[in-house]
Amino acid sequence: MTSRIGEWRNTMKAIRYYTYGSPDVLELPDIDMPVVGDDDVLVRVRAASANVLDLALMRGMPYIMRGQAGLSRPKAHGLGMDMAGYVEAVGKNVTKFRPGDEVFGGGAGTFAEYVSVREDSAVLRKPASLTFEQAASVPVAALTALQAVRHKGHIQPGHKVLVNGAAGGVGTFAVQIAKALGAEVTGVCSTRNVDMVRSIGADKVIDYTQEDFTRIGPRYDLLVDMVGNRTLSERRRVLASKGVLVAVGGPSKGRWLGPMAGWVKMAVVSPVVSQSLVSFMLQRNREDLVVVSEFLEAGSVTPVIDRTFPLGDVAEAFRYFEAGHAKGKVVITV
């Protein structure tokens, strides 16, 4: 193994949780350093970011998740799904990276000082124009936005796109990626976020406290919905006859299924209507991260960061994030 660490460390600080619950269950113990296999890259994490799935895993909600995550207590104890940092060590088979490279991408348990990832996973060299904090905000949220807009929404230049939840982590990327792909974009957000959503490229912004987006404006070719706060019939009302609804998120109400209850209804209705009603889960892959990185390097997509919190304040970061008022991403610095 090739390493830039002069004296190898045996332990590191990392966020851990051993029972489901509120942010109060989070701890910051010393744990063993990650194992670095022959095909692995050890990253010294400089920043990570909070995502909705982290909250769901921490709380064990909806209950359907516990079939994989652990019925009465979590099987895995780390949180964090994306990161940016620099390579500390590489396994003997690794050729794409070397110690000292600045990288960003996906991982598991990234709220930690170090994380080990496979060389062939969704990890790339960090664009030089981005800070570690900006880069760490990208992988989960931007890939979700790209896949929602391009893969599921089948966006084409000139399409009219409506983004409900345009000021959130995924929404800010969805607005910018849709614009970069040639669409006419309308964002839906609250009064305090109107100027920000307009500043990232939205052609029009609807303040949902002043107007009902389901009853005004044109019919859209694509509705990317991060909120799920309107009925299916209301959302279909804003779509063109061959339009596409992509449900990225939804309300967490419902202990058993959460937003998946709405997704089931969409799956039942979609075959009997002319519109396409689609829900999906993120598929992390290197190819899509390359596309996002190209947007970032071209300057057509810029991360929006609301606040940063140090690793020791992850519980406070989650309380803030869970309140649902963040503009863009909440980032953890390490």
Question: How far apart, in whole angstroms, are the C-alpha atoms of residue 315 and residue 79?
Answer: 11
Best CA proximity match to 16, nearest among 85, 81, 112: 112
Best CA proximity match to 55, nearest among 225, 252, 248, 304: 252
pLDDT of residue 67: 78
pLDDT of residue 264: 78
pLDDT of residue 26: 97
Q: What is the pLDDT along the chain (334 residues), one digit of tens a residue?
A: 666 554 567 999 999 999 999 999 999 999 999 999 999 999 999 999 999 999 999 998 777 777 777 888 999 999 999 999 999 999 999 999 999 999 999 999 999 999 999 999 999 999 999 999 999 999 999 999 999 999 999 999 999 999 999 999 999 999 999 999 999 999 999 999 999 999 999 999 999 999 999 998 789 999 999 998 899 999 999 999 999 999 997 555 556 455 666 767 788 887 879 899 998 888 999 999 999 999 999 999 999 999 999 999 999 999 999 998 899 999 999 9
pLDDT of residue 265: 77
pLDDT of residue 297: 97
pLDDT of residue 6: 47
Spatial contact of 174 and 147, defined as CB atoms under 8 Å apart: no
pTM, entire model:
0.93
Q: Which two tokens stand for residue 101?
A: 């490279």
Query: How many other CB atoms are there within 10 angstroms of residue 157's CB atom?
Result: 8
| 91-116 per-residue burial string, b: 16 or more CB within 10 A, e: under 16 | beebeebebebbbbbbbbbbbbbbbb
Show Cβ contacts of residue 88 under 8 Å, excluding neighbours closer than 6 positions. 3, 4, 5, 42, 43, 44, 99, 114
